[in-house]
């Protein structure tokens, strides 16, 4: 097969596989051609599902961004949000069960941000296919098994309408872990989240701060991770998502 034909086939396959990726309306430059940041690669016993250091001004279309104020500048991804859905960044990846997500962030004026993991095929189980939600605020870190708790379709309407019974309140509390933690503006922090079965461990600057266990963490398919920037400015760098070969 000619190289040009092979490249065309690979590119078309990549575009088809990413059909569910949110429409990009930001001024960021995007590429359809598979790159290191978009192709799963094997390194020893690790499978690199996604990696970006923002060393170029081009993102692969596995990124979804509807925020016109998001840009790559000086080797970092800079995001500004006025609050609400405009602050969302999403990355579609090869499905996985267990993995480690690492990235660095710096709060400029934003008071915090959220990130988490979804399964776009599980919208009949969880609102929006959301599985795990993690919130980093200036003074705390929160981990939430939302597929078992607040976003499970059996509970979501009651949660949304604030018709929560004592039994549901107890369930929601069991699906949640919270720890006080003080973050300083304009300083870089390194985050690592390790998912292994029902266990989720969260590290800040190589220090484990949360060990959390809940049934929804072990959801067998995760095919997207996302960032949701609270109102203000912040920056991301050195994003890596890795699964491990048995």
Distance CA 80, CA 191 (A): 20
pLDDT of 181 reads: 96
**At 216, which CATH number?**
2.60.120.560
| Residue 226, CA distances (Å) to 8, 34, 73, 101 in order | 29, 20, 20, 11
What are the tokens at 197?
A: 């079965």
Span 82-118, pLDDT tens digits: 876 556 889 999 999 999 999 999 999 998 999 999 9
Span 105-115, pLDDT tens digits: 999 999 899 99
Question: What's the total number of domains in the chain?
Answer: 1
Instruction: Output the pTM of the full model.
Output: 0.83
Span 132-162, pLDDT tens digits: 999 999 999 999 999 999 999 999 999 999 9
DSSP 172-203: HHHTEEEEE----TT-EEEEEEEEETTEEEEE
Report the 10 Å Cβ neighbour count for 189.
15
Kindly give the pairing relationship between strand 176-180 and strand 140-145: antiparallel
Span 155-182, pLDDT tens digits: 999 999 999 999 999 999 999 999 999 9
Report the 10 Å Cβ neighbour count for 50.
23
Task: Say if residue 119's pLDDT is above 80.
Answer: yes
What domain range is 161 assigned to?
A: 3-244
């Amino acid at each position: 097969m000619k190289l040009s034909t092979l490249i065309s086939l690979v590119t078309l396959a990549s575009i088809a596989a990413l059909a569910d990726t949110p429409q990009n309306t930001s001024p960021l430059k995007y590429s359809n051609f598979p790159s290191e940041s978009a192709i799963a690669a094997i390194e020893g016993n690790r499978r690199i599902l996604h990696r970006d250091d923002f060393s170029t001004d081009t993102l692969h279309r596995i990124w979804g961004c509807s925020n016109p104020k998001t840009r790559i500048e000086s080797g970092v991804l800079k995001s500004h949000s006025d609050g609400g859905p405009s602050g969302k960044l999403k990355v579609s990846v090869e499905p996985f069960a267990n993995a480690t997500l690492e990235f660095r962030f710096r709060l400029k004026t934003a008071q915090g941000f959220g990130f988490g993991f979804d399964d776009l095929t599980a919208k009949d189980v969880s609102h929006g296919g959301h599985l795990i939600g993690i919130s980093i605020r200036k003074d705390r870190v929160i981990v939430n098994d939302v597929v078992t708790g607040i976003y499970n379709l059996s509970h979501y309407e009651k949660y949304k309408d604030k018709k929560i019974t004592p039994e549901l309140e107890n369930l929601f509390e069991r699906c949640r872990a919270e720890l006080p933690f003080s973050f300083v503006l304009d300083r870089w922090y390194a985050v690592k989240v390790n998912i292994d079965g029902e266990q989720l461990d969260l590290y800040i600057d190589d220090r484990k701060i949360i060990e959390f266990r809940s049934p929804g963490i072990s959801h067998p398919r995760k095919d997207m991770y996302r960032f949701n920037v609270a109102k203000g400015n912040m920056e991301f760098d050195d994003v890596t998502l890795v699964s491990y070969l048995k």
